[in-house]
Each structure stands twice: as C-alpha cells, then as structure tokens.
Amino acid sequence: MFRIGLVGRAGSGKTTVARALAQDGAEVIEADRIGHQVTDQDSEVRSALEREYGAGVYRADGTLDRAQVAARVFTDPAARASLDRLVHPRIVRRIHERLAALANAGWQGVVLVDAALMLEWGMERDMDAVIAVTAPDDLQIARLGSARGWSEQEARRRIAVQRTNEAFAEAADVTLTNTGSEQELTRAAHAAVARLIAGTQIDPGENGC
C-alpha cells in the first residue's frame, strides 16, 4: 500500500488530481466527505452544534446548514477554533480507521488521502509521500466562483485562513502548479505518482502545468 497525502488551497485543483488517480484505481479518502459524515451523523457533534447555533442549524433532511456555520466561522476565529476542536479529531480518527482497514484487507496500490488540513493535523508523517497542488490566487478565486458559486469576497475570505501556496509546496514531495487545463494537470498527476512509486527523485519544477 502506497499512501499519498494530497494538500492545497481551495480552488487549486485537488479535486481534479483526486479524480485522475481514482480513475487509475487509487482508493481515495476525502477528508471533506468524512467531515460531512461527522457533522451529519455523529450525535455528540449534532448536539454541540445545535447548542451553539440553534436547532435550525440542521435542515429538515438532517443535514447541516453549512452555509450558516461558514458565515460565522470564517469571520469569528473563536467560533472556528471551537468547531475545529469538535470536528477535526473525529475526522482524523476516521481517516486512520480507513487506512487501517485497507491495510488489514491487504490492499495493494495507491491510497490517496485528500485533506487540505493534513499538515495542521500532522498526518503527513503517516504518508509515504505528499503532493501539493498550487495555483495563483486569481485563478483559485475564479475557479471557486465557477464551481461553488462563491463571490470574490467569499473566496478571498476562505483562502485567507489557509496556508500559503509556498507553505504547501515546502511541505510536499511534489508540487503540481496548476495554471493550465484539467488535462495537463491530470497528465502531471499521473506522471508524478508513477515516479514517486518508482522512487525516482522528482524536481517539483518538472511537474508544473
């Protein structure tokens, strides 16, 4: 089992990389998806969020109104820290459980852990390699507007609380600079993973798109 951590800012292109590797047969563990499961299904988390935000923070279908929570946590550092303390340990535990289950099942191949906060959690130490995806701010903002419907102000607010591109690149074994098309990023991702598995020393500059 070859464990790869995938990091980068919102709008950088991590989803494209994850999709490309999944098509190659990689097992993908998405921290965001697990986070949704935690906030929607964990009874202790639900109770805590209802106390903090009111019962209306959960919709009629039982899912968290993430826009309501985001409107507060991205403007109130204390509220964000409280949410992180509540949810993040549970996400990390579930990721470790998934990795352990795959190992116990004898999984042979790539496991990609897509987690923008991997470095904050110290989980990069559990990976065999880390790939960072970076892009200029303007491109990230445009992509977030197109993909998620965020305003420029909202996109900038989300990006501002994340690590810089340089910080992600410094912590990674490979950096993919995503300034081209999805096809170019996909090709670069395939090449980077093949070379990582082969144990070839990679110059991050060779993998720019």
Name residue, tokens 């004898």: 106
CB 158 within 8 A of CB 116: no
pLDDT digits (tens, 9 = 90+) for 23-40: 989 999 999 999 999 999
Whole-model pTM over 0.85: yes
In contact, 129 and 196? CB cutoff 8 Å = yes
Domain that holds residue 59: 40-106
Residues 82 and 1 in one domain: no
Residues 120, 196, single domain; the answer is yes
Q: How far apart are CA 52 and CA 203, in angstroms?
A: 47
The secondary structure of 125-173 as a DSSP string is GG-SEEEEEE--HHHHHHHHHHHH---HHHHHHHHHTSPPHHHHHHH-S
How confident is the model over 126-131, as a mean pLDDT?
95
- Let me know if residue 35 belongs to a domain: no
Categorize the per-residue pLDDT at 206 as very low, low, confident or very high, splitting at 50, 70 and 90: very low
* Residue after which a domain boundary falls, among 106, 129, 151: 106
Q: Report the domain count for the chain.
A: 2
Do 8 and 102 belong together in one domain? no
85, 170: one domain:
no
* φ and ψ of 127, to 5 deg: -95, 155
Region 85-110: mean pLDDT is 96
Last residue of a domain, one of 106, 132, 164: 106
- Amino acid 209: pLDDT: 42
Query: Tokens for 105?
Result: 């099942």
pLDDT: is 113 or 73 the higher one? 113
We report the CATH number of the domain holding residue 167 as 3.40.50.300
- End-to-end Cα separation, the chain, in angstroms: 28
Same domain, 102 and 113: no
Mutual orientation of helices 31-41 and 77-104 as an angle, nearest 10°?
110
- Which residues are registered as beta bridge partners of 45? none
The pLDDT score that the predictor gives to residue 74 is: 85
